[in-house]
Structure 1
Amino acid sequence: MPLFGYARVSTTDQDLALQIEALKAAGCEKVRSEKRSGTTTKGREELRTLLDFLRAGDTLVVTRLDRLARSMGDLQDIVRELKGKGVALKALEQPIDTGTSAGKAFLDMLGVFAEFETNLRRERQMEGIAKAKKSGVYTGGKRQLDHDRIRELRASGMGPSEIAAAVGCSRVHVYRVLHAGAA
């Protein structure tokens, strides 16, 4: 039964090395890896490539279930797809065996907890943003320049330095707007 590994971290500054090493030590012939959020399967090309490649009798191996999915819906979709192809799922750090009733129940419980953890993190993040907004620390995204106003000021005879001071940006930005408008 061929073993194929999948490793994932959420951000580019996180390291995949420990997961890849564990998957290879477990006997995985190939390991696909990517640095993408696990909250959705959209945009996870390495996962899609691996799921399309797997055949009956293969085993998909992950270090932990949350490396595969952080949403219960996505996890269930992946498990259904694997089951439909006759592919087993194994998690190295958790007793997952999709071939038994107990293993399936444990898989579902872990999926619920992974989704719960993601929702808690999102709630804490929203609370932190609300608190920062209330104290005036968080002001949102970057302010957009009013290109029409810059062009009007230039048409009225103002120079780039004066325009920059009037709209609160650098001369470089003024030149970019004026150049873009001329093109």
Structure 2
Amino acid sequence: MLIGYARTSTADQEAGLEAQERDLRAAGAERLFSEKVSSVATREALSDALDYLRDGDVLLVTKLDRLARSIRDLMEIVETIRAKGAALRILAMDLDTSTATGKLMLGILGSVAEFEREIMLERQREGIAKARAAGKYKGRTPTARRKADEVLQLLAEGRTEVEAAELLGISRSSVQRIKRSASSKAAA
């Protein structure tokens, strides 16, 4: 059975997801798993697709970067697929891991893709540093800091740190940081 997996990083990439799904169906995918999630987040549809695989199945993806975030991640996914007796096919590369050549090429191309990503991130960091030096980049405002008044109000009402964090959608450590900051300001 051919099983397709499609992923976009953000919810506003609807056209990209639709294009992947169209290409996977055209390649013969009988079952599709799709999601709109960053590659660094938990990819539930990928986990579901891998769980669904059976002996002789093939997992189809349109491009390598839709599947894995690093060479290590790629190799773990490929090992999971192999252990189930299945194979991986990447449409854009015409690559099939059911062959020895396909396995070799996947390792090489995965390494190149990871290298390209590292170079891109390095350029991004350099650009941010340059913009900061020029006073044009300030970064995003921390989410928890904007909720400081609400955190302090909930704590004053007798809520626990955990309850305040859950109610406001922030971490417990953020609640603790806000609490410490308020205490040090009060002591000064």
Correspondence for 1:36: 37
Correspondence for 2:184: none
Deviations 1:22-77 (A, max 9, x none): 11111111111112223x4x500000011011110111011112211130000000
Give, in angstroms, the shift of residue 140 of structure 1: 3.5
Q: Counterpart amino acid of 2:5?
A: Y
Q: TM-score, normalised by structure 2?
A: 0.73
Q: Counterpart amino acid of 2:92?
A: E
Correspondence for 1:109: 108
Q: Counterpart amino acid of 2:38?
A: S
Correspondence for 2:26: 25
**What is the distance in 1 between the residues matched to 2:72 and 2:26?**
30
More helix by share: 2
Q: Which runs of 5+ in 1 are unaligned?
A: 148-172
Give, in angstroms, the shift of residue 178 of structure 1: 7.6
Q: Does the aligned pair in 2 maintain the 1:82–1:89 contact within 8 Å?
A: yes
Q: Does the aligned pair in 2 maintain the 1:5–1:62 contact within 8 Å?
A: yes
State, as a whole percentage, how many aligned pairs show the same letter: 49
Matches within 5 A, 1:143-158: 144=145
**What is the distance in 1 between the residues matched to 2:139 and 2:6?**
34
**What is the distance in 1 between the residues matched to 2:6 and 2:62?**
7
SS in 2 for 1:27: coil
Give, in angstroms, the shift of residue 180 of structure 1: 4.4
Give, in angstroms, the shift of residue 129 of structure 1: 1.0
Correspondence for 1:156: none
RMSD: 2.2
Q: Which moved more, 1:65-74 or 1:133-142?
A: 133-142
**What is the distance in 2 between the residues matched to 1:131 and 1:86?**
49
Q: Counterpart amino acid of 1:89?
A: L
SS in 1 for 2:4: strand
Q: Counterpart amino acid of 1:48?
A: S
Displaced runs of 4 or more, over 6 A: none
Q: Which runs of 5+ in 2 are unaligned?
A: 158-188
SS in 1 for 2:96: coil
**TM-aligned CA distance change 1:18 to 1:136, over 3 Å:** same
**What is the distance in 1 between the residues matched to 2:66 and 2:151?**
44
SS in 2 for 1:5: strand
Decide which structure has the larger Cα Rg and report it.
Answer: 1
Q: Does the aligned pair in 2 maintain the 1:5–1:30 contact within 8 Å?
A: yes
**TM-aligned CA distance change 1:50 to 1:128, over 3 Å:** same
Q: TM-score, normalised by structure 1?
A: 0.75
SS in 2 for 1:16: helix
**What is the distance in 1 between the residues matched to 2:74 and 2:58?**
16
**What is the distance in 1 between the residues matched to 2:152 and 2:93?**
60
SS in 1 for 2:54: coil
Q: Does the aligned pair in 2 maintain the 1:64–1:92 contact within 8 Å?
A: yes
Q: Does the aligned pair in 2 maintain the 1:6–1:31 contact within 8 Å?
A: yes
